[in-house]
Chains A and B, each alone.
Chain A
Amino acid sequence: MTVAAIREYIGVPRDSVENFGGKQIVYASWDRHLLFAAPFLLCLPPETPFRDLVAGPLTALVQADPDAVALDWTTVEWLKDNQPWAPDFDASLAANGIGHKDQLRFRTAGLNSLSAAA
């Protein structure tokens, strides 16, 4: 049973992709960089090149972290759906298989000024 109800009950999701005017939600976060309290929520057209996502909003948002200056996007490790994953920087979000509400994570081994070891 997917809900306790007195009769058949179908929920309508509030955050379906068609509600975002041709754009989609992408979540992105920098592992072990908790100066940023939660993953970023970005709203972008699916045809946005991955490179633009990185060079645009993502680069701007991470500037407050002292590691931002040493961040080399060509060497970071990526995860999508919590699994290792390699993006094509020149392809669009859609062509990279980044769907609505997908979570991207990136790791920078050895670069963690504000984070204590666990």
Chain B
Amino acid sequence: MDMKVAKKKLGLKEKYRALTRDLGWDTTYQPKDAVFPYVGYEGIKIHDWDKWEDPFRLTMDAYWKYQAEKERKFYAIIDAHAQNNGHLNLTDARYLSALKIFLQAISPAEYASHKGFARTGREFPGVGTQVACQMQAIDEIRHAQTQIHAMSNYNRYYNGFHAFADTRDRIWYTSVARSFFDDAMSAGPFEFMIAIGFSFEYVLTNLLFVPFMSGAAYNGDMATVTFGFSAQSDEARHMTLGLECIKFMLEQDPDNLPIVQNWIDKWFWRGFRVLGLVSTMMDYMLPKRVMSWREAWDIYGVENGGALFKDLARYGIKPPKGWDDAEKAIDHMSHQFMLGLYQWSFGTAFHSWIPSEEDMNWLSAKYPDTFDKYYRPRWKHIKKLADAGTPFKNYGLAKLCQTCQLPTVFTEPDDPTLTCHRQSVYKGQKYHFCSDGCQHVFDNEPEKYVQAWLPMPQLFQEPINGDLGAWMEWVSLRDGKDNGDYAGSEDQRNFEAWRGLATTNQ
């Protein structure tokens, strides 16, 4: 064929245009509303989808090239880590508890996020949005995969890694993250973008990933550091997408402001509750700690978050409603939550332990106003019980919050000695909450949250009917291996024996 080709290669801008905008078309044999049925019911008004700008203008071929390069580096390091017994370079096998929680609660969240972005990309009519969501959907499944691959090395040697999918679905402490994503995925596409794109990726991601990845580096976990690096450049893109999305909504119509504000209030608080898990990792589970939860909050919450909300103020956005309550909780939450994890450790697929005297001195230096006054006496008493041969196990199980699904371990914002009791009645039934923030979320959409699958009450229903042994089997928890105190655990014994082989002549 004699066809004249004017130019062999498209420029970057033309290529982006060809690969995004040119893929959009107007429907002819179906009304547009029928093709995009979910875009209107949340009340968000969009007048011009072309105003959506994907700040990265990434095309698929460029995307594959970048990602393939990252994958090559990642798997080279993971292989080296496996071949060189990288697990023996850890500071201490206590570190693995943080990793187990990450695998059981956060890696499945990456996968949920993948599903959510794939769906949202389909539901938005704008082509720029569709492409950006599609790429994020692929990023997220890659993150889930690389995390699972990185941690599978530990599964060969240590307990608690083997059944993360069951743990995610069925055990109790992961349900805070599971319910966060279930809630987002069952919301409309715009709310999903605020929940995950904005609240999770923009406001909270640094608090989750930066301390966690630094924690991995500090504690000799090269596998985790590597997936952290591999994901980091994607995260920059995700954060920008989240921020662009919120600005787009606010610029399109002034009526969108109250809806967006309501979502920011809700998803900030829901995200803050997920961070409860992170706070315990930072303050208690890392043998070599990077910074305290309080210090991380000051940098990534107060400074970065504060700057963000200052930036959004020109649109009329106010800081989230729960912001002040969050600040009041910072010096308490890791201690309150960790005391819970310890006393219910018969039901956790990771180990916890009583902090040593040295650990407690660190905590008291980092939390001068709260640790010695409120929490050291409790740990000292728990230590006394353990020394007497009657270790503290709270078989009372726990009241859970109907919204965040965590045990209601948190106290009144202005009284750290009194549990926060909140309840609502809806259609004649009582529902309980851990905080005003969670109660507000429920009261806004009770019909949604009455359906919450709460792990503790479920234990007393069919088919478990209150049988703790049957429950353990159902959640794939191996009693005496995966759960309980780190002291005396198989993980502790094995790590010490193998490290001994690696570092001595015994």
With a cutoff of 8 Å between Cβ atoms, the chain B residues found around residue A116 in the complex are: 373-374, 377, 417
Would you call A70 an interface residue if the criterion is a C-beta within 8 Å of the partner chain's C-beta atoms? no
Asked if residues A81 and B450 are in contact (CB atoms below 8 Å), the reply is: no
With a cutoff of 8 Å between Cβ atoms, the chain B residues found around residue A81 in the complex are: 423
Would you call B503 an interface residue if the criterion is a C-beta within 8 Å of the partner chain's C-beta atoms? no
User: Per a CB cutoff under 8 Å, which of A29, A61, A114, A118 touches B377?
Assistant: A114
In the complex, A57 Cα to B460 Cα: how many Å? 15
Question: Shortest CB–CB separation between residue B45 and chain A, in angstroms?
Answer: 15
Asked if residues B339 and A37 are in contact (CB atoms below 8 Å), the reply is: yes
With a cutoff of 8 Å between Cβ atoms, the chain A residues found around residue B395 in the complex are: 61
In the complex, A64 Cα to B390 Cα: how many Å? 9
With a cutoff of 8 Å between Cβ atoms, the chain B residues found around residue A11 in the complex are: 446-451
Per-position 1/0 for A35-46, Cβ under 8 A of B: 111111111000
In the complex, A34 Cα to B382 Cα: how many Å? 12
Say yes or no: A13-B457 contact (C-beta < 8 A), given A38-B398, A39-B399.
no
Stretch of B13-21, B35-43, B305-313, B488-496 that contacts chain A: B35-43
Asked if residues A4 and B417 are in contact (CB atoms below 8 Å), the reply is: no
With a cutoff of 8 Å between Cβ atoms, the chain B residues found around residue A6 in the complex are: 37-38, 41
Question: Shortest CB–CB separation between residue B414 and chain A, in angstroms?
Answer: 8
Per-position 1/0 for A87-118, Cβ under 8 A of B: 00000000000011111010000001011111
Asked if residues B409 and A37 are in contact (CB atoms below 8 Å), the reply is: yes
Would you call B466 an interface residue if the criterion is a C-beta within 8 Å of the partner chain's C-beta atoms? yes
Mostly, the A contact residues are loop
With a cutoff of 8 Å between Cβ atoms, the chain B residues found around residue A115 in the complex are: 374, 417
CB-based nearest B residue for A41: B397
Asked if residues A27 and B432 are in contact (CB atoms below 8 Å), the reply is: yes
Asked if residues B461 and A19 are in contact (CB atoms below 8 Å), the reply is: yes
Asked if residues B451 and A39 are in contact (CB atoms below 8 Å), the reply is: no
Asked if residues B392 and A64 are in contact (CB atoms below 8 Å), the reply is: yes
User: Per a CB cutoff under 8 Å, which of A4, A34, A105 touches B411?
Assistant: A34
CB-based nearest A residue for B465: A21
In the complex, A44 Cα to B453 Cα: how many Å? 20
In the complex, A82 Cα to B423 Cα: how many Å? 9
With a cutoff of 8 Å between Cβ atoms, the chain B residues found around residue A38 in the complex are: 340, 398-399, 407-409, 419
Within 8 A of A (CB), among B361-394: 373-374, 377-378, 381-382, 385, 392, 394
With a cutoff of 8 Å between Cβ atoms, the chain B residues found around residue A112 in the complex are: 417
Per-position 1/0 for A1-34, Cβ under 8 A of B: 0111110011111111001110101010101101
Q: Give the number of residues in B that approach A within 8 Å (Cβ atoms).
A: 64
With a cutoff of 8 Å between Cβ atoms, the chain A residues found around residue B77 in the complex are: none
In the complex, A42 Cα to B456 Cα: how many Å? 10
Would you call A66 an interface residue if the criterion is a C-beta within 8 Å of the partner chain's C-beta atoms? yes
Asked if residues A37 and B447 are in contact (CB atoms below 8 Å), the reply is: no
CB-based nearest A residue for B340: A37
Asked if residues B398 and A37 are in contact (CB atoms below 8 Å), the reply is: yes
Which residue among A20, A21, A64, A102 has the maximum number of chain B CB atoms within 10 Å of its CB? Answer: A64
In the complex, A64 Cα to B447 Cα: how many Å? 39
With a cutoff of 8 Å between Cβ atoms, the chain A residues found around residue B423 in the complex are: 81-82, 103
CB-based nearest A residue for B393: A64
In the complex, A29 Cα to B215 Cα: how many Å? 36
Question: Shortest CB–CB separation between residue B12 and chain A, in angstroms?
Answer: 40
With a cutoff of 8 Å between Cβ atoms, the chain A residues found around residue B457 in the complex are: 14-15, 25, 41
Per-position 1/0 for B421-434, Cβ under 8 A of A: 10100010111100
In the complex, A110 Cα to B421 Cα: how many Å? 21
Per-position 1/0 for B339-365, Cβ under 8 A of A: 110011000000000000000000000
Asked if residues B451 and A12 are in contact (CB atoms below 8 Å), the reply is: yes
Within 8 A of A (CB), among B287-345: 336-337, 339-340, 343-344
With a cutoff of 8 Å between Cβ atoms, the chain A residues found around residue B188 in the complex are: 4
CB-based nearest B residue for A63: B390
Asked if residues A37 and B432 are in contact (CB atoms below 8 Å), the reply is: no
Asked if residues B458 and A14 are in contact (CB atoms below 8 Å), the reply is: yes
Asked if residues A101 and B419 are in contact (CB atoms below 8 Å), the reply is: no
Would you call B148 an interface residue if the criterion is a C-beta within 8 Å of the partner chain's C-beta atoms? no
Say yes or no: A2-B447 contact (C-beta < 8 A), given A23-B460, A38-B408.
yes
Q: With contacts A4-B188, A57-B396, A66-B381 known, what are 4 further pairs, Cβ within 8 A? A: A4-B42, A9-B447, A102-B430, A112-B417
Q: Report 29 cross-chain contacts, Cβ distance below 8 Å, ordered by A residue.
A: A3-B445, A4-B445, A6-B37, A11-B446, A11-B450, A12-B451, A14-B451, A14-B452, A14-B453, A14-B458, A15-B457, A25-B460, A27-B399, A34-B336, A34-B417, A35-B339, A35-B382, A36-B396, A37-B339, A37-B394, A64-B394, A82-B423, A101-B432, A114-B377, A114-B381, A115-B374, A115-B417, A116-B377, A118-B414
Report B's interface with A, CB cutoff 8 A. Answer: 37-38, 41-43, 187-188, 191, 336-337, 339-340, 343-344, 373-374, 377-378, 381-382, 385, 392, 394-400, 407-409, 411, 414-419, 421, 423, 427, 429-432, 445-454, 456-458, 460-462, 465-466
Among all A-B residue pairs, the 9 with the closest Cβ atoms: A40-B396, A37-B340, A3-B447, A38-B398, A38-B407, A39-B399, A43-B460, A2-B447, A13-B450
